[in-house]
């Protein structure tokens, strides 16, 4: 349906501000330091609500955030429980399905984030293109997801250290690691980007190294090894608990993939999202294939799902439940267990670092749109959302509960908050993309005006949305009828706690604010966008590629 001419908006609209400094720079370093923490002046003209965050992330940062953003405890440790519950086939199928869905989600997100590289997280797209009440629910869902991940990752880091120093209280290591990730984020977005760049390189090298190790171990090339081949797929077999086992693994897979969408959140602080974000998005397929599917296929070949070390009911973050570590220990290769434990330590610190970054930016975005207390709008002259950073960091102190015998119970409920939340976030991203395309066309725009288009298009977003819904149904099934148990409220809410929280948030905001479903006619497809002329896009597409750019272009 053609839009009326007056609906057409021309020209670029840029509502974000560059972080600047005042002309009266203090002379002493102490005065300059204090001045940096003072609030930056915001541009409140024409209804602008954009947080003036610093745009300092380069292309290499964006690509490494995309490649290594979600490689952490979900893959290295959580896959142990998944293998035990679903068997090697259940593990592989679940992660493949989630992987396909993530490919669709990240491409949909990429199109939105390149067009609208605005601060505040993915709830902004839900608010604009679906319903403000749903955007409110999704914003707090995403913020809570990352707020509770930090203490989990800090505890995992401390328990990893106990591999070398078992006599030192875990509280000591929690303090050290918490101070480390807070310091990185206080440096600013450039500090976060550089840290993730280094962390991602280590994780990538480690996963590739494990794949090579697993192949050698499988064919009997290690000191304690003998030829395995596909024996474990015959005995004890490919599936641990049949169809229900496959369904049970979905929540673990969702938790493992959490963080893949961080590259879209970081777009608001990218120096040139039009160039760096599409390259990063195109790496997602190869990362999913290499780091998850191939490595977990190798794990299923060399670690039997009946190994009782895979599932430790006393701790949800025990390094000894990692099938990667179990395989290395079984192989009898000296030094390698120490190296891989160090890699896991880096991985969990990386996710902890990302949790502060993601939750603080989301909280600031919520406050900018009057969906959170105004105090969270505070951004200093270095582009740091200080109050949001303070709250995000403070939640890390929950990790100290691991020093008591109540720790496992607390972490079980924290996992319940974070695991299922990702499915709602990803489904909303896909549906927001579908709605955006509809509104974009209705108001007279052409897809040729988009500098990056989702590789899956609308079909990909519908596939991603449907897989998310199917995963939620599968999780409901295993929550009501848990493996090896009878229906009970405790087991249900341990898996499905995020759903009622989101539903209550949505209904409450709907009633209080009397929000309405966003119509195609009223949909805002302009504010915060970076529009480009056809000549700009043609010039960029015709620019010769060299080095890594040429290789990635051929692959993607």
CA 450, CA 509: separation in Å to the nearest integer?
Answer: 33
CB within 8 A of 542, min separation 6: which ones?
A: none
Sign of CA dihedral 89, 409, 354, 107: positive
Q: pLDDT for 455-499, tens place per residue? A: 999 999 999 999 999 999 988 888 888 877 788 887 788 788 888
Return the HEC string of 200-231: HHHHHHHHHHHHHHHHHHHECCCCCCCECCCH
- Own/partner contacts of 467-473, CB < 8 Å, gap of 24 or more, are 467/97, 467/98, 467/100, 467/101, 467/104, 468/101, 468/423, 468/424, 468/426, 468/427, 468/430, 469/427, 471/97, 471/98, 471/101, 471/250, 471/254, 471/423, 472/420, 472/423, 472/424, 472/427, 472/499
Q: Average the pLDDT over 103-131 and give the result.
A: 87
In 333-456, which ranges are continuous DSSP H helix? 336-368, 386-394, 407-419, 421-442
Closest alpha carbon to 295 in 340, 245, 346, 354: 340
CA angle, residues 60, 64, 66, in degrees to nearest 5? 120
Give the domain range for residue 467: 50-513
With a cut of 90, say whether residue 506 has pLDDT above it.
yes
- At 50 the pLDDT is 58
Length of the chain: 556
Count other Cβ atoms within 10 Å, centred on residue 202: 17
Q: Into how many domains does the chain fold?
A: 1
Q: In the numeric block, which tokens belong to residue 320?
A: 């000894």
In which band, very low, low, confident or very high, does the pLDDT at 387 lie, cut at 50, 70 and 90?
very high
With a cut of 60, say whether residue 3 has pLDDT above it.
no
Q: In the 8-state DSSP scheme, what is residue 381? A: T
Closest alpha carbon to 163 in 345, 21, 386, 397: 345
Query: The pTM is what?
Result: 0.84
Which one is predicted more confidently, 51 or 128? 128
- At 40 the pLDDT is 64
With a cut of 60, say whether residue 420 has pLDDT above it.
yes
Asked if 60 and 197 count as a contact pair (C-beta separation under 8 A), the reply is: yes
Q: Average the pLDDT over 383-398 and give the result.
A: 91
Which one is predicted more confidently, 269 or 299? 299
Asked if 270 and 277 count as a contact pair (C-beta separation under 8 A), the reply is: yes
Q: Rounded to a whole number, what is the largest CA-CA distance in the chain?
A: 74
Q: Is residue 292 part of a domain?
A: yes
In which band, very low, low, confident or very high, does the pLDDT at 49 lie, cut at 50, 70 and 90?
low
Q: In the numeric block, which tokens belong to residue 111?
A: 């199109």
CB within 8 A of 334, min separation 6: which ones?
A: none
Q: pLDDT above 70 covers what percent of the chain?
A: 82
Asked if 216 and 222 count as a contact pair (C-beta separation under 8 A), the reply is: yes
Q: Is 380 in a helix, a strand, or coil?
A: strand
Q: Average the pLDDT over 94-104 and give the result.
A: 90
In which band, very low, low, confident or very high, does the pLDDT at 65 lie, cut at 50, 70 and 90?
confident
Q: Is residue 298 part of a domain?
A: yes
Cα separations (Å) of 551 from 65, 114, 279, 282, 555?
19, 22, 11, 12, 6
Q: pLDDT for 312-362, tens place per residue? A: 544 455 667 889 989 998 888 888 888 888 888 888 888 888 889 889 989
With a cut of 70, say whether residue 226 has pLDDT above it.
yes
Residue 417: exposure state from Cβ atoms within 10 A (0-12, 13-18, ≥19): middle
Q: Average the pLDDT over 282-291 and give the result.
A: 73
Q: Average the pLDDT over 194-203 and give the result.
A: 88
Q: Is residue 28 part of a domain?
A: no
CA 20, CA 381: separation in Å to the nearest integer?
Answer: 7
With a cut of 50, say whether residue 16 has pLDDT above it.
no
Q: In the numeric block, which tokens belong to residue 498?
A: 């995020």
Count other Cβ atoms within 10 Å, centred on residue 321: 23
In which band, very low, low, confident or very high, does the pLDDT at 258 lie, cut at 50, 70 and 90?
confident
In which band, very low, low, confident or very high, does the pLDDT at 9 lie, cut at 50, 70 and 90?
very low
Q: Is residue 497 part of a domain?
A: yes
CA 87, CA 83: separation in Å to the nearest integer?
Answer: 5
CA 364, CA 50: separation in Å to the nearest integer?
Answer: 10
Q: Is residue 533 part of a domain?
A: no
Q: pLDDT for 149-198, tens place per residue? A: 888 888 888 878 877 877 788 889 999 999 999 999 888 888 888 888 89
**Rg from Cα positions in the chain:** 23
In which band, very low, low, confident or very high, does the pLDDT at 228 lie, cut at 50, 70 and 90?
very high
- At 17 the pLDDT is 43
Q: In the numeric block, which tokens belong to residue 304?
A: 């039997």
CA 76, CA 320: separation in Å to the nearest integer?
Answer: 10
Count other Cβ atoms within 10 Å, centred on residue 378: 19
Q: Is 57 in a helix, a strand, or coil?
A: strand
Q: Is residue 11 part of a domain?
A: no
Return mean pLDDT, the chain.
Answer: 81
- At 37 the pLDDT is 61
Find the CATH number of the domain harbouring 376: 1.20.1740.10
- At 531 the pLDDT is 52
- At 87 the pLDDT is 93
Count other Cβ atoms within 10 Å, centred on residue 218: 20
- Give 227's strand partners: 219
- At 12 the pLDDT is 43
Q: pLDDT above 90 covers what percent of the chain?
A: 30
Q: Is residue 126 part of a domain?
A: yes
Q: Is residue 543 part of a domain?
A: no
Q: Average the pLDDT over 393-407 and give the result.
A: 85
Element (H, E) at 95: helix 78-115
Q: Is 39 in a helix, a strand, or coil?
A: strand
Cα separations (Å) of 89 from 33, 297, 347?
55, 8, 26
Return the HEC string of 270-282: ECCHHHHHHHHHC
């Amino acid at each position: 349906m053609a839009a009326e001419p007056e609906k057409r908006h021309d020209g670029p609209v840029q509502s974000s501000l560059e972080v600047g400094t005042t002309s009266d720079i203090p002379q002493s370093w102490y005065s300059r330091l204090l001045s940096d923490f003072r609030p930056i002046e915001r541009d409140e003209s024409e209804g602008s609500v954009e947080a003036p965050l610093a745009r300092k992330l380069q292309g290499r940062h964006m690509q490494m955030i995309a490649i290594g953003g979600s490689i952490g405890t979900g893959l290295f440790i959580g896959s142990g429980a998944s293998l035990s519950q679903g068997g090697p086939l259940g593990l592989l199928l679940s992660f493949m399905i989630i992987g396909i869905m993530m490919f669709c989600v990240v491409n949909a997100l990429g199109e939105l984030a390149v067009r609208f590289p605005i601060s505040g997280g993915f709830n902004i797209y839900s608010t604009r293109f679906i319903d403000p009440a749903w955007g409110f629910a999704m914003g707090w869902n995403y913020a809570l997801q990352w707020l509770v991940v930090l203490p989990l990752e800090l505890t995992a880091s401390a328990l990893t250290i106990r591999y070398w120093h078992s006599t030192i209280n875990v509280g000591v290591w929690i303090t050290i690691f918490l101070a480390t990730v807070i310091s990185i984020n206080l440096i600013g977005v450039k500090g976060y980007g550089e840290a993730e760049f280094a962390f991602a390189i280590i994780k990538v090298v480690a996963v590739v190294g494990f794949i090579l190790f697993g192949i050698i171990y499988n064919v009997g090339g290690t000191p304690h090894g003998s030829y395995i081949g596909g024996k474990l797929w015959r005995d004890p077999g490919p599936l641990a608990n049949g169809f229900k086992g496959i369904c049970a693994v979905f929540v673990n897979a969702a938790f493992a993939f959490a963080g893949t969408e961080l590259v879209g959140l970081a777009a608001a602080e990218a120096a040139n999202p039009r160039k760096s974000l599409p390259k990063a998005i195109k790496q997602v397929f190869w990362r999913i294939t290499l780091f998850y599917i191939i490595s977990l296929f190798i794990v299923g070949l060399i670690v039997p799902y009946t190994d009782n070390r895979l599932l430790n009911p006393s701790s949800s973050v025990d390094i000894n439940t990692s099938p990667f570590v179990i395989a290395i220990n079984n192989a009898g290769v000296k030094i390698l267990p120490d190296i891989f434990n160090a890699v896991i330590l880096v991985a969990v610190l990386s996710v902890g670092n990302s949790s502060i970054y993601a939750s603080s930016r989301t909280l600031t975005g919520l406050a900018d749109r009057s969906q959170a207390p105004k105090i969270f709008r505070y951004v200093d002259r270095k582009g740091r959302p200080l109050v949001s950073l303070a709250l995000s960091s403070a939640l890390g102190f929950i990790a100290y509960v691991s020093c008591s015998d109540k720790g496992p119970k607390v972490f079980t409920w924290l996992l319940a908050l974070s695991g299922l939340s990702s499915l709602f976030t990803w489904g909303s991203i896909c549906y927001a993309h579908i709605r955006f395309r509809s509104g974009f066309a209705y108001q007279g725009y052409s897809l040729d005006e988009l500098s990056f288009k989702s590789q899956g298009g609308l079909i990909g977003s519908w596939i991603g949305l449907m897989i998310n819904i199917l995963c939620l149904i599968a999780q409901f099934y295993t929550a009501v009828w848990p493996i090896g148990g009878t229906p009970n409220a405790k087991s249900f809410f341990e898996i499905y706690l995020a759903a009622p929280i989101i539903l209550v948030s949505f209904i409450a905001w709907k009633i209080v604010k009397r929000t309405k479903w966003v119509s195609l006619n009223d949909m805002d497809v302009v504010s915060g966008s970076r529009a480009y002329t056809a000549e700009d896009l043609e010039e960029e597409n015709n620019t010769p590629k060299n080095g890594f750019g040429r290789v990635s272009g051929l692959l993607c």
